[in-house]
Structure 1
Amino acid sequence: MVGNEEKDISQKNGFTNGILKNPSINSLDYLSNIMELDMSNGKIQNLDKNIELPSRLIHLNLSNNKLTEVPTNVLKLDNLKSLDISFNSIVFFDDIPSFCHSIEKLNLSNNCLNGPPLWVWTEKPINLKYLNISNNKDLCSTFTDSYLDELSQYKTLVNEIDIHNCRLGKHVKLLASFCHTKVITLGNEEYVHRLVNNLDHLPCVGLENCKDVEIMNLTNTQLFHIYPSIDIYTNLKELNLSQNNLNSLPNEFCKLVKLETFVMSYNRLLYLPDNMCELTNLVTLQLDNNKLCMLPENLLELPNLRILDLYNNNLYEGPSNVNLEEVDLAHNHFDEPDSEDYLMKKKKLRIGKLDRKDGRKVEEISEEWEKTSSSSDEEELNDLSNDKFIQDDQKDDRASSPEDWDSDEYWIPQYYKPPSPPQSPWLYFVKKKMKEGNFCPMDAHTISISELVKYDQLYNPHLVHSLDWNSDNYSDDDS
């Protein structure tokens, strides 16, 4: 019978403990000595005001419920140090809680906040180290220019801020209030088009005030430019710029001499600054999935470099001596090393990285090249000489006076000719069929059929004979 009773209770309450579902329990006084309480995943919409939470409570977890506001009995807790109310439907949290100056970690992510918790700015909680307000799509909905200017004047004491996927955009000035922050998270690997923080460039307004930052995550923040003023972050140790639209780095980037970890995966990077050797503290360098065609000669001379990821680039020559702990050189335009030592290092780096290929990258061949490759080498050589080199020689009639040498235009390479756009597959197919004599489309002629018809009508007009009994005289009387 006991087993059946336990089974009935478990079926009634599901996977929850059923404390809040039992109407006979109005208080938790018998739990007054409890310091940590987990009430997550309970489908709680509200807490009864008559329920008194343990006064000594330090850690409280109310995540994954259906709360629309922070319960009053939670606001009355005096000793709370950690509060997790993520994944709810809370709209505002502006009331000053009793735990204002005792709270250390506050997680408000994945809610429906129509503004940041105001008391964090106005009251400056002295012990608050971690604040997470990420994934609140309407966080900036109440911002006006005057309110944003006023809020950015406050200087919070938060040490770590996570504010990714909040659609900051033009409201990025809010970051100016986190000037003492050491860790800033503005991006995330999970791309959500409607929620990303569009920064465009770095340093940006607001973020340029955070000069003491040591760890910065800007993944998926729509970055297009890194300005030379990047060197203001003199204390930066870890920087993640992955999954953006960056194609270059300024030379001033190498002044970040304290940088230990640099992640630049999934960008459009073509080259690295020549003075990369100045980053003497660099330990991890991730440059995979870019468009690098060459590397600085002294890159591997970095004394502390241990991890190097160059997977999927356009390199035609790889580093010769790779004395690193982890390295991946696969999917480039050179033969990947096959030594057992290298394979072990590559395997170690690829832990957690799926869908990576081995060996050399296959070069893409356009349809135009496929067409010309079918012809003989002699014909190809004649075409190149006749169509390109001779034309270039005719155009290259620059003067050689000393005055011209001083001009900027003289030193622009004149022998370079941009490649012609590839021929469309349809046009190539039509011309091939015409040569075979299968058909002759009207729009593929040198002179179109319509022009030939107009020409024939113009020079061979069709005469119209009118009958005498039906002729009309349209001439004027005065003619």
Structure 2
Amino acid sequence: MATSNELSSQCNEITLIKLNGSNNIAEDDDYDKKYFYNTKELNLSNCKLLNFPKFHNQLNDLVKLDLSNNNICDLPESICLLKKLEYLIIDNNNIKRISVDLNGFDKLKELSLSNNSLSELPLNMEKLQQLEILNLSNNKLQSLPNSWAKMNNLLTLDISMNLFIEIPNCLREGMSKLTFLNVSKNRNMNINGVIYSNNLKKFYAKNNGSVESAFPKWIFSGKFDEINELNFENTQFRTIKIPINNRKIQLKKLNLQQCKLYDTVIENLLINISSLEHLNIGNKNFMSTGNSFPILPNSYILNPEALKTINIAATGLADISKSIETFTNLTEIDIQKNYLSWLPEEICNLKKLQVLIISDNNLIMLPQNMGSMISLKILEAANNHLSSLPSSIIKLQNLEFMDLYQNNLTEIPKEIESLKNLKALDLELNHFDTDNIMLPISYSNLLNQFRIDKPYRGKGPEIIENNSSSVNSSFVSSSDTLSSAESIQDESHYNNDAILTEENWDNLDDSTDDFDPFNPPPISPPKWETPCVFYENQFNFCPADLHPPRIKDVIAEARANGQLSSPLPIIEGQFDDAD
């Protein structure tokens, strides 16, 4: 990284100058024009600047300027001298308003003012007819000038993380070439407004919370047939009504994660999409604002052959239909954190599947024909009840990552030794020791690959050496280490077992000759040494949970809570005249 003192020897006829992170730049620094001859790019980020340095009048050929991560409060008038500037990045500063006239930047293609304190914007920016990308995210804006509707060459507009309560008028009336619009993180923003541009390809409205308006039905109005991506993650709409339209939109990516959806709603959405490739209708964690699907809604997808990825995690999923085999081009499926106790054999027909995430379920076994998924590279099956692996798994020669953390395996599956391309493996918290696993690749190296992304996981059970001659070792969990007194069994327990085996009854202490029925010897409970620590799955599901409670239990609970008065006592002779 060059400093200002080294510019005289290094900046002659170079096209890129990086001074980012330098604290040696003074705002009144001035240099001869020859030192910046032919400079095209200048990076002054992270320099603690309060203003643009004086030597900017020597940068007549500058094309890209980066002033991000400084303390600049406003742009100087002299910055307009940079007539050839095409890219201006002023992110992460303290700019509250722009007082300079930006019309001089007639070649400007990208302007980024993200993460400042802007509450208003210049009215005449529509004259920037070459502007294609405008980033105004993370400011304090509540509206955009109506005159901006004339910015007909603008392709990307990001107004996320502001204070907008509705779609700005300039978007309703102009910006005809806009292809990407991001209005995410504008709390409770009404996005059910019409967008003028017919070229919209991507629309983001993530993390807007509980929106009091209806779902933006303009998307399915027939005007946006070629929209490619919709992202409404963690945005909950008051109502979702899709207009009846015979034309289907050509949507490729749909993200409805954590949107409080259910079967009927998702059906109305999916039947209006013709060739969906990526579908995310899962939750990060199941909660009241989350989606709820007892079964996989694959029957609503019009063209299952087009689907490539699907996420339906943490939605209360209890069953996977056999028709999942119709997703012939599926490469990734995420169904973790559900109530699945089995997977259909038909899932093995997905020859192109590369990623299968089934962790945090109630699975007790995997499909026997799992080796047919020859393209599988990642298998995550942690926190289940698997006691063995299917023998066909040795055919998964492309498998690179396998996660079997916290299951019921009692020994190392032999099939793992045949997986030559394995790069990461986690077998911890099963019912065997992992300290001396013999694999073609060091198990510790395989384990560390998983722990980079999951450092919170424990390691165990592990063997702890014991000094007692009667017992060599005992299994304990690393999170629940037993004391030496608890981990060592009583030597007499083993001796008594040996005596009982020999059936030498005369030498026993409780022989009938010495037994006193009035003073029996104390009987101590046997000491058991458990070879492992059992861990309960956090997602337990029982079919009886779906049954309605018994009437007598409802009445008893109502009386206990004071919601129902106790019956009056029966008076003697009350029913004497009854038939």
TM-score range relative to shorter protein: 0.5 to 0.7
Q: Does 1:44 align with 2:141?
A: yes
Aligned-pair identity in percent equals: 27
Change (3 A) 1:45 1:208: same
Once residues 23 and 315 of structure 1 are traced to their aligned partners in structure 2, the CA distance between those partners, rounded to angstroms, is: 62
Q: Deviations over 1:273-322 (max 9, x none)?
A: 11111111111111112111111112122232222111111101222315
Paired residues, number: 368
Cα offset, 1:49, TM superposition: 2.2
Change (3 A) 1:203 1:97: closer
How do residues 42-191 of structure 1 correspond to structure 2 at under 5 angstroms?
A: 42-51=139-148, 54-75=151-172, 76-89=174-187, 91-100=189-198, 102-111=199-208, 112=211, 114-138=213-237, 141-143=238-240, 147=241, 150-151=243-244, 155-170=248-263, 171-173=265-267, 174-189=269-284, 191=285
Q: 1:353 aligns with which of 446, 454, 472?
A: 454
Cα offset, 1:169, TM superposition: 1.2
Q: Does 1:15 align with 2:94?
A: yes
Structure 2 contact 236–289 (Cα < 8 Å) conserved: yes
Q: Does 1:263 align with 2:357?
A: yes
Is the partner of 2:181 in helix, strand or coil? strand
Change (3 A) 1:124 1:205: farther
Q: Does 1:198 align with 2:292?
A: yes
Once residues 16 and 166 of structure 1 are traced to their aligned partners in structure 2, the CA distance between those partners, rounded to angstroms, is: 35
User: Which residue type is aligned with residue 244 of structure 1?
Assistant: N
Cα offset, 1:27, TM superposition: 1.6
Q: 2:337 aligns with which of 243, 250, 254?
A: 243
Cα offset, 1:22, TM superposition: 8.4
Change (3 A) 1:281 1:199: same
User: Which residue type is aligned with residue 353 of structure 1?
Assistant: K
Q: 1:314 aligns with which of 408, 431, 447?
A: 408
Structure 1 contact 276–296 (Cα < 8 Å) conserved: yes
Q: Does 1:280 align with 2:359?
A: no
Bigger drift between 356-365 and 289-298 goes to 356-365
Partner of 2:430: 332
Q: Does 1:232 align with 2:302?
A: no
Is the partner of 2:379 in helix, strand or coil? strand
Once residues 194 and 168 of structure 1 are traced to their aligned partners in structure 2, the CA distance between those partners, rounded to angstroms, is: 11
Q: Deviations over 1:309-339 (max 9, x none)?
A: 1111110122231531222222211221446
Cα offset, 1:106, TM superposition: 1.0
Once residues 342 and 180 of structure 1 are traced to their aligned partners in structure 2, the CA distance between those partners, rounded to angstroms, is: 43
Cα offset, 1:162, TM superposition: 0.4
Change (3 A) 1:131 1:25: closer
Change (3 A) 1:195 1:152: farther
Structure 2 contact 227–249 (Cα < 8 Å) conserved: no
Bigger drift between 22-31 and 336-345 goes to 22-31
Structure 2 contact 352–375 (Cα < 8 Å) conserved: yes
Q: Deviations over 1:142-195 (max 9, x none)?
A: 24xxx55x5586522111100111111142212222341000011243x25122
User: Which residue type is aligned with residue 197 of structure 1?
Assistant: N
Change (3 A) 1:313 1:53: farther
RMSD of the TM alignment (CA)? 3.5
Change (3 A) 1:259 1:331: same
User: Which residue type is aligned with residue 245 of structure 1?
Assistant: Y
Is the partner of 1:202 in helix, strand or coil? coil
Cα offset, 1:124, TM superposition: 4.8
Structure 2 contact 273–302 (Cα < 8 Å) conserved: no
Q: Deviations over 1:2-59 (max 9, x none)?
A: 8998599739997345239688942214533221111111111122324556332111
Once residues 379 and 189 of structure 2 are traced to their aligned partners in structure 1, the CA distance between those partners, rounded to angstroms, is: 41
Q: 1:294 aligns with which of 382, 388, 394?
A: 388
Change (3 A) 1:39 1:204: same
Gaps of at least 5 residues in structure 1 are 383-479
Bigger drift between 168-177 and 54-63 goes to 168-177
**Higher RCO, 1 vs 2 (CA within 8 Å, ≥6 residues apart):** 1
Change (3 A) 1:134 1:45: same
Partner of 2:125: 28
Once residues 121 and 410 of structure 2 are traced to their aligned partners in structure 1, the CA distance between those partners, rounded to angstroms, is: 75
TM-score between the two structures when normalised by the length of structure 1: 0.68
Q: 2:315 aligns with which of 221, 228, 233?
A: 221
User: Which residue type is aligned with residue 116 of structure 1?
Assistant: F
Once residues 298 and 149 of structure 2 are traced to their aligned partners in structure 1, the CA distance between those partners, rounded to angstroms, is: 46
Change (3 A) 1:5 1:142: closer
Change (3 A) 1:85 1:103: same
